[in-house]
Structure 1
């Protein structure tokens, strides 16, 4: 399993950023103690920033990260569901900003993925768009899994809009008897007879202006049971959601774009439209899919890596700020931040380690993972903060982590 997820789509690119996670530390070339004059940040900014949403998508994505705390993890339903399935669809872990991230389709194995049949998705797109959502998906194996499970929570503008969406989602076929015991729940779709005896069940239910959408795919006949159990759990957790703002008709909702200054410590994304996210999602030039602040639990919903969650929990990581250039994690204290970086880098996937000019080996270092899309990841610590930057070249990764170090020193160590 490549926890760097180098070939992953934008929706799960956070995993690559948070999870350079498994790497073998090979001693790099020792360097002198930190000398600011020797640090090379290249053309990256070196001062803290103020994050402002320039488009509705910028703001709604952040609300999606807040909504994520009310989404269940697949492993909450079945402890074996922790694998990132290699042929899973776009949006498999992370914020949802368009209906296309949920459309049902067959993957390369002929197994149906996604939660909403195309015709129903088209109706929702035309008549009842959601504001934002969040989803997590996992299987019991990265390739040819026997079981896959997905849970999504969609926020609509009003309770009435959520009810309208439920009407659209309801399948013509009669629902299973067990599902009728859940108030407002509907069967969205049910398929069987796929390759390898695969069955799939999709169910949904409303909670105020939210819609919980859950689906399970299994080799056998138990997808219905798994989906209904998942929906029951998701509805319970959905009730914990506390929106950051009241419903508003503002073009760009006034969602707080920073928390405790964690985003001021990051380097702004450079959205050059390489992944067409500006067109597809409506981001402004300083945002990418997956940007924002969130909890360690939300990071786990995206990376689905128990080893990462264990390391983060052990180090008391309680807040993360992430862009497509750098990430900043707040640990319990200075010692915990250092322990986190050591544990994250002490794994089987990276094969080299490099120093960062101007920073001592106990403050910073870089790893190389040949299987990742951005194979060079550099780390540093500043007080209780662990920093990381992943790039296609060692020079850029070193420069980005150097700039991140200077920014975080300017903001402070606590």
Structure 2
């Protein structure tokens, strides 16, 4: 955040009229402890303009903003939020991962933008148990060039048999229907380990809407109702204009650490970013209470709250959530980063692998960083604190 002209002017004026008198003790700046930062950069980054491929992914994130909150349709599913999108040349991989090869083949490379949003019923830290079913739902929104292409995509070919990566035939697709949506293609598939999934596709205007998972047909109907209504108010960015979308319009991503293998980064409105949280419904409330409007993503994450109190609230809420999920977590402070908190815990009960999560509030901003190496996590949050302290 840039300093206002008033603050800069005041600083210049005060620089020429010190009120220090002989004998007054003055703190030595070199004596103020500084956080360890290791090899992390401690200055704000430059976020490059988007390429065409970046713009296509950014359009996917724009569409995620209007995906209904899935936990409002099934209140047991509000954990482990995830969002996937990408450029046009990634859509077939995304559809194969979610729906299988036959659906990927039908969809092809036609979509101009795509996004999937998912949710589950198990909190972070839950140890896998083959005797306990993990319930979840993932939905998809694909934007095609025109309504004709969308309508042509949703047909019987989506129910074609397919084989998995090992060459085994996928479970049979048993036709079903979604109440109120006779034009939708819907079926169930029963998997050995995951149980029965209900799958459905609907063409609406220039969009194809999909759903896969544990929603009932009535819940999918509710999803279709809400998603079509949301699309009515959505203004798509023309394909030849998506490169004009900004990766970091609010200047928040530049405050994140650089990813380990790239210099990428982007910022999202809070409504889109909250879909990736470990407890989506809880974070929706946290974001609302704290006034979180933008989230920057890079090698670390930066949240912008409405004020300093809001930022502190975010740190406290995130820490509380992690402590509840990992009651055996070891907590520690970070030298030179006032208010920072780090928690180290096994990734699940009994695991030998540990994760260290850290967060710190600086002004109205929150930096968050995690690593499976404790020292790296401490240095990362130290660097993130230094960046915010210099720019917030």
TM-score (norm 2): 0.73
Tell me how far apart the structure 1 counterparts of residues 55 and 176 of structure 2 sit (CA, whole Å): 37
| Consecutive unaligned residues in structure 1, runs of 5 or more | 1-31, 85-91, 105-113, 272-284
Judged with a 3 Å threshold, the aligned counterparts in structure 2 of structure 1 residues 76 and 321 are, in CA distance, closer, same or farther, namely same
Is this contact kept in 1: 2:175–2:187, CA < 8 A?
A: no
Is this contact kept in 2: 1:294–1:321, CA < 8 A?
A: yes
Judged with a 3 Å threshold, the aligned counterparts in structure 2 of structure 1 residues 77 and 63 are, in CA distance, closer, same or farther, namely same
What is the CA-CA distance between 1:321 and the residue it aligns to? Answer: 0.9
Tell me how far apart the structure 2 counterparts of residues 35 and 204 of structure 1 sit (CA, whole Å): 63
Judged with a 3 Å threshold, the aligned counterparts in structure 2 of structure 1 residues 101 and 170 are, in CA distance, closer, same or farther, namely closer
Match of 1:247 in 2: 239
**Which piece of structure 1 moves more, 309-318 or 385-394?**
309-318
Tell me how far apart the structure 1 counterparts of residues 135 and 48 of structure 2 sit (CA, whole Å): 41
Secondary structure of residue in 1 paired with 2:199:
strand
Judged with a 3 Å threshold, the aligned counterparts in structure 2 of structure 1 residues 410 and 241 are, in CA distance, closer, same or farther, namely farther
Indicate whether 1:137 and 2:116 are aligned: no
Equivalent position to 2:150, from 162, 167, 172: 162
Tell me how far apart the structure 1 counterparts of residues 79 and 50 of structure 2 sit (CA, whole Å): 35
Secondary structure of residue in 2 paired with 1:136:
strand
Within a 5 Å distance, the mapping from 1:235-384 to structure 2 comes to 235-243=228-236, 245-248=237-240, 253-271=243-261, 285-287=262-264, 292-303=266-277, 305=279, 306-323=281-298, 325-346=299-320, 347-348=323-324, 349=326, 351-360=329-338, 363-371=339-347, 375-384=355-364
Match of 2:139 in 1: 151
Larger radius of gyration: 2
Is this contact kept in 2: 1:166–1:206, CA < 8 A?
A: yes
Tell me how far apart the structure 2 counterparts of residues 67 and 336 of structure 1 sit (CA, whole Å): 27
Match of 2:11 in 1: none
Is this contact kept in 2: 1:327–1:389, CA < 8 A?
A: yes
Is this contact kept in 2: 1:336–1:384, CA < 8 A?
A: yes
Indicate whether 1:94 and 2:83 are aligned: yes
Tell me how far apart the structure 1 counterparts of residues 201 and 46 of structure 2 sit (CA, whole Å): 39
Is this contact kept in 1: 2:311–2:365, CA < 8 A?
A: yes
What is the CA-CA distance between 1:152 and the residue it aligns to? Answer: 1.6
Tell me how far apart the structure 2 counterparts of residues 394 and 140 of structure 1 sit (CA, whole Å): 26
Judged with a 3 Å threshold, the aligned counterparts in structure 2 of structure 1 residues 368 and 409 are, in CA distance, closer, same or farther, namely same
Equivalent position to 1:201, from 175, 193, 198: 198
Match of 1:71 in 2: 67
| Consecutive unaligned residues in structure 2, runs of 5 or more | 1-27, 161-173
Tell me how far apart the structure 2 counterparts of residues 327 and 201 of structure 1 sit (CA, whole Å): 35
Match of 2:187 in 1: 189
Tell me how far apart the structure 2 counterparts of residues 159 and 247 of structure 1 sit (CA, whole Å): 15
Match of 1:229 in 2: 222
What is the CA-CA distance between 1:179 and the residue it aligns to? Answer: 4.3
Residues 60-85 of structure 1: CA distance to partner in whole angstroms, max 9, x if unpaired?
3333222211112221212222244x
Tell me how far apart the structure 2 counterparts of residues 316 and 34 of structure 1 sit (CA, whole Å): 36
Secondary structure of residue in 1 paired with 2:63:
helix
What is the CA-CA distance between 1:214 and the residue it aligns to? Answer: 1.8
Tell me how far apart the structure 1 counterparts of residues 111 and 274 of structure 2 sit (CA, whole Å): 27
Residues 171-224 of structure 1: CA distance to partner in whole angstroms, max 9, x if unpaired?
48876373445xxx42143346x6599543322223433221123436xxxx32
Tell me how far apart the structure 2 counterparts of residues 401 and 146 of structure 1 sit (CA, whole Å): 33
Secondary structure of residue in 1 paired with 2:235:
coil
Tell me how far apart the structure 2 counterparts of residues 52 and 405 of structure 1 sit (CA, whole Å): 23
Is this contact kept in 2: 1:70–1:239, CA < 8 A?
A: no
Does 1 or 2 have the higher relative contact order (CA < 8 Å, sep 6+)?
1
| Structure number having the greater helix percentage | 2
Equivalent position to 1:394, from 356, 359, 374: 374
TM-score (norm 1): 0.69
Tell me how far apart the structure 2 counterparts of residues 351 and 304 of structure 1 sit (CA, whole Å): 17
